[in-house]
């Protein structure tokens, strides 16, 4: 579609001549409960100034139809709308433009998403726009630096409630409907506006605090979810974390929360974890737990709550000028999510362990792809922007900010943040604006730091080199650094030996600045050689860590004996990176997991080990050993399940891992027994979510009948149940099941996003690679068509999910290379996705070679 992919240059040109004074947006969604109604009425009136009278410009709009366009009282021809843009010319110095359109209800989570609850038939709406889908709901200048106040008016069914960014000022009843009028927002970007509408279950509270000037800040709080989820909605816990976060960010940021109220809506079929719409934050409703989950899930939810809250300042109050500086909000929010869990005195004291083990694993993977990029990226257009919500922008950026706080000091960091907010409130910024504030407060020149860490890509690996004398004392300890670009690293080096109880404990700590390819640590000379030398102890820098051979042997025999949670998590992370980098055979990594995972006390780390061990067998192991590896994992899961403390999080994690790995008669027999009640594990509650996990194991093994799965759906006729049922159908090991899943996604765009995802996940099970091999050729043939015809969200799922990674063989790699060679002019974002998956495949082949020995 012409103009659908806005470029940075177009945005710059538009911002150079326009200033937006305000929007009035009227939406009529009274048709939403009617499944036959595909559209809603949208009327936008925007007042803006033009510094070059007589110039032309355009508004962004993705609508089914445009009814009228009026500029300064003059009706424009219907040809003004080309399907993606409303073109206007002859601008005056001051302008009022009104666009009346019919816009489509979404089923992809982009724009105004409509969902019908299968439990009670109720209809729910919510919006999601980032980076540029507000134009699916109302005509606007869709770029972050044309901020404006927005006044929303929404007409909805009479029994609905409606929320937006600002407080409503009136609710006018009409026949069969009510019209909600909202106060104008502060100056915000288009992608941050929001509407949530429907018969949501609502819990209200309030927050207040005395400000330094003696006034009292009062913030109305609310949390909402679908009515059918109300019995599971732990709003008190959610709002409790919210209040702790508001206390913490007010203390640290020194700028009062600027958006009035604070609503948090947990919404269905949401594409991401959450979105920081000011005053009206939206979350995926998976955070409303229908069944027992581990404490790691609660920690993750609390982290996301604080992440989105941090955005109220970093991102909403002060917004990046263009998506090049996306890190100015996402890196900060990702860092603050973990920092805040500790600083706000929540009960989640292991936040930095989770960060080191999980968030940084995402960053390390992303940073080793051929498409890696600096934290401050070159974002040419909206498709680039969509793909850069990635492990670099979030997790690597957060890791680098953690380093920065240590470098300049937390006091200087937060004082710099306060000045940044004061200077740029309700405006837009670039990298230099933040660095300037931090340089003032820290007294440091941060330009070289930014050049090394923000403006280059790639991850360094640090390796200890230890030489000893005949008596076992260190004569030299050096740190070797490799990578395309060598960076300065301030690290701690932990020296670990066994204590009288057999635990590996730190007996010495050295701190050193690593510079260049080889850095000698003179303080180590003369010390007794420890059992384990752990570089980057305490996780002070962003790097991969390696081991000398003696340290690696200590881990082989005692990784689980490391007493400190963070040090142990760093060791687990390091051996996983060795496996991914084809430096440790996959079967050796699996052996470590089988030997020591049962000792792992941190539940989040344990669940990561489960995921990584399964990946090691599915992708990185010699195909000749895969069957043996899978059996070993299932046996280990069963052994640890039986040994786990009854009713514990660890027991639940091992039960889920058994469901993921079950393949033999003994494992599948227990799975079926747990479902029917003929088998029992003391303390294990086989609740609804666990039941679906067990059914998936049987379905994938060809041991779940159609009637059995239909009966389970009848017992759980919910959105979650329908998603799990679809997943089970697609996971059956038959040509017919794979064909049906493929067709459901490829041959129609009627499926909602959640069921697209379920079909792809069930289709692509690695254990079914023989059944799905024949789809590789049609996959590559369809790539450009799918990319051009579907929304970017659905197209991304197709490209990433159906890529034949599970084949993990040389012919598939050759097919990927052939497609890339033959399509140099394909959309850059599409090529990037294919290239990344191709790299995953090449990595798997290297790991398999390593595992073969």
Q: Is the dihedral of CA 828, 833, 839, 842 positive or negative?
A: negative
Per-residue pLDDT, 702 = 97
Q: Quote the tokens at residue 798.
A: 């197709």
Element (H, E) at 43: strand 39-50
Distances (CA, A) of 46 to 152, 316, 319, 377, 804: 12, 21, 21, 31, 47
Write out the DSSP string of 167-178.
-EEEEEEETTEE
Per-residue pLDDT, 156 = 98
In the block, tokens 């793909």 appear at 387
Per-residue pLDDT, 4 = 86
Rounded Cα–Cα distance for residues 576 and 580 (Å): 6
The dihedrals phi and psi of 527, each to the nearest 5 degrees, come to: -75, 155
Determine contact, residues 673/697, Cβ cutoff 8 Å.
no
Per-residue pLDDT, 1 = 44
Tell me, yes or no, if 130 is annotated catalytic: no
Angle at which helices 235-253 and 327-343 cross, to 10°? 110
Listed residue (93, 84, 125, 87) closest to 107, CA to CA = 125
| pTM more than 0.85 | yes
Per-residue pLDDT, 853 = 87
Q: What is the DSSP letter of 601?
A: -
Encode pLDDT of 113-125 as tens digits. 999 999 999 999 9
Rounded Cα–Cα distance for residues 701 and 717 (Å): 24
Segments in the chain below pLDDT 50 = 1-2
- Please, where are the H alpha helices in 74-150? none
Residues 6+ apart with CB under 8 A from 839: 369, 370, 371
The dihedrals phi and psi of 652, each to the nearest 5 degrees, come to: -65, -40
387, with CB counted inside 10 A (0-12, 13-18, 19+), is buried
Active-site entry in 308, 330, 600, 793: 308
Q: Own/partner pairs for 759-762, CB < 8 Å, 24+ apart?
A: 759/726, 759/727, 759/730, 760/730, 760/797, 760/798, 760/801, 760/802, 761/727, 761/730, 761/731, 761/801, 762/699, 762/726, 762/727, 762/728, 762/729, 762/730, 762/731, 762/732, 762/737
C-beta neighbour count of 216 within 10 angstroms: 8
Determine contact, residues 377/403, Cβ cutoff 8 Å.
no
Residues 6+ apart with CB under 8 A from 264: 221, 222, 223, 224, 238, 242, 281, 282, 283, 305
């Amino acid at each position: 579609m012409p103009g659908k992919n806005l470029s940075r240059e177009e945005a710059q040109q538009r911002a150079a001549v326009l200033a937006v004074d305000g929007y009035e947006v009227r939406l009529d969604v009274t048709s939403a409960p009617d499944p036959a109604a595909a559209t809603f009425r949208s009327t936008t009136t925007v007042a803006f100034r033009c510094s070059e009278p007589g110039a032309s410009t355009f508004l962004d709009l993705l609508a089914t139809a445009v009814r009228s366009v009026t500029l300064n009282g003059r009706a424009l021809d219907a040809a003004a709308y080309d399907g993606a843009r409303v073109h206007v010319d002859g601008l005056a110095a001051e302008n009022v433009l009104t666009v009346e359109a019919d816009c489509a209800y979404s089923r992809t989570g982009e724009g105004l998403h409509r969902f019908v609850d299968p439990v009670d038939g109720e209809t729910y709406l919510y919006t999601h726009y980032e980076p540029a889908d507000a134009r699916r709901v109302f005509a606007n200048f869709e770029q972050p630096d044309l901020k404006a106040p927005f006044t929303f008016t929404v007409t909805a069914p009479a029994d609905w409630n409606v929320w937006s960014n600002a407080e409503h000022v009136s609710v006018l009843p009409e026949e069969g409907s009510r019209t909600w009028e909202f106060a104008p927002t502060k100056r915000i970007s288009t992608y941050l506006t929001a509407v949530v509408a429907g018969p949501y279950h609502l819990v209200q509270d309030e927050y207040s605090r005395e400000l330094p000037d003696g006034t009292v800040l009062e913030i109305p709080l609310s949390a909402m979810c679908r009515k059918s989820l109300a019995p599971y909605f732990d709003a008190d816990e959610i709002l409790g974390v919210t209040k702790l976060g508001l206390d913490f960010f007010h203390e640290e940021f020194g700028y009062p929360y600027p958006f009035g109220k604070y609503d948090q809506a947990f919404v269905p079929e949401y594409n991401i974890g959450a979105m920081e719409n000011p005053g009206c934050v939206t979350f995926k409703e998976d955070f409303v737990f229908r069944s027992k989950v581990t404490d790691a899930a609660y920690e993750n939810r609390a982290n996301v709550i604080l992440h989105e809250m941090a955005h109220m300042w970093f991102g909403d109050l002060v917004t990046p000028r263009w998506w090049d500086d996306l890190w100015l909000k996402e890196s900060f929010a990702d860092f603050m999510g973990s920092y805040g869990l500790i600083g706000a005195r929540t009960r989640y004291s292991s936040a930095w362990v989770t960060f080191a083990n999980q968030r940084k694993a995402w960053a390390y993977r992303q940073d080793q792809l051929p498409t890696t990029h600096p934290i401050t990226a070159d974002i040419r257009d909206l498709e680039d922007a969509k793909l850069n919500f990635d492990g670099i922008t979030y997790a690597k950026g957060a890791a680098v900010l953690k380093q920065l706080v240590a470098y300049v000091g937390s006091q200087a960091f937060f004082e710099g943040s306060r000045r940044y907010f004061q200077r740029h409130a309700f405006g837009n910024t670039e990298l230099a604006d933040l660095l300037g504030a931090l340089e003032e407060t820290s007294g440091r020149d941060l330009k070289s730091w930014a050049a090394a860490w923000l403006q280059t890509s790639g991850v360094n690996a640090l390796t200890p080199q230890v030489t000893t004398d005949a008596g076992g004392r260190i004569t030299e300890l050096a740190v070797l650094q490799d990578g395309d670009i060598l960076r300065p690293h301030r690290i701690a080096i932990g020296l670990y030996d066994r204590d009288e109880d057999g635990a590996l404990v730190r007996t010495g700590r050295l701190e050193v600045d690593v510079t260049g390819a080889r850095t000698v640590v003179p303080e180590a000379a003369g010390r007794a050689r420890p059992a384990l030398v752990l570089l980057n102890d305490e996780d002070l820098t962003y790097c991969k860590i390696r081991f000398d051979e003696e340290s690696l042997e200590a881990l082989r025999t005692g990784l689980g004996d490391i007493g400190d949670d963070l040090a142990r998590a760093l060791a687990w992370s390091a051996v996983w990176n060795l496996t991914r980098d084809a430096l440790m055979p996959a079967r050796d990594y699996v052996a470590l997991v089988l030997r020591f995972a049962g000792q792992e006390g941190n539940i989040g780390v344990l669940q990561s080990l489960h995921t990584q061990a399964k990946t090691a067998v599915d992708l990185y192991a010699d195909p000749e050993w895969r069957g043996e590896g899978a059996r070993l994992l299932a046996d280990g899961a069963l052994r640890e399940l039986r040994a786990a403390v009854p009713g514990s999080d660890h027991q639940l994690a091992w039960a889920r891992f058994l469901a993921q790995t079950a393949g033999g008669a003994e494992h599948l027999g227990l799975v079926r027994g747990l479902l029917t009640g003929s088998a029992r594990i003391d303390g294990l509650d086989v609740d609804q979510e666990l039941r679906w996990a067990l059914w998936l194991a049987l379905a994938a093994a060809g041991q779940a009948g159609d009637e059995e799965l239909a009966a389970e759906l009848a017992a759980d006729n919910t959105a979650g149940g329908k998603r799990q049922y679809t997943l089970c159908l697609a996971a059956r090991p038959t040509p017919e099941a794979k064909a049906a899943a493929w067709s459901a996604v490829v041959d129609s765009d009627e499926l909602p996003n959640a069921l697209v995802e379920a079909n792809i996940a069930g289709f692509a099970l690695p254990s079914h690679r023989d059944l799905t091999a024949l789809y590789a050729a049609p996959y590559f043939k369809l790539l450009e068509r799918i990319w051009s015809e579907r929304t970017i969200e659905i197209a991304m799922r197709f490209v990433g999910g159906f890529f034949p990674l599970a084949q993990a063989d040389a012919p598939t790699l050759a097919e990927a290379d052939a497609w890339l060679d033959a399509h140099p002019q394909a959309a850059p974002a599409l090529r990037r996705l294919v290239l990344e998956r191709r790299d995953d495949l090449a990595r798997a082949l290297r790991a398999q070679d390593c595992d073969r020995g």
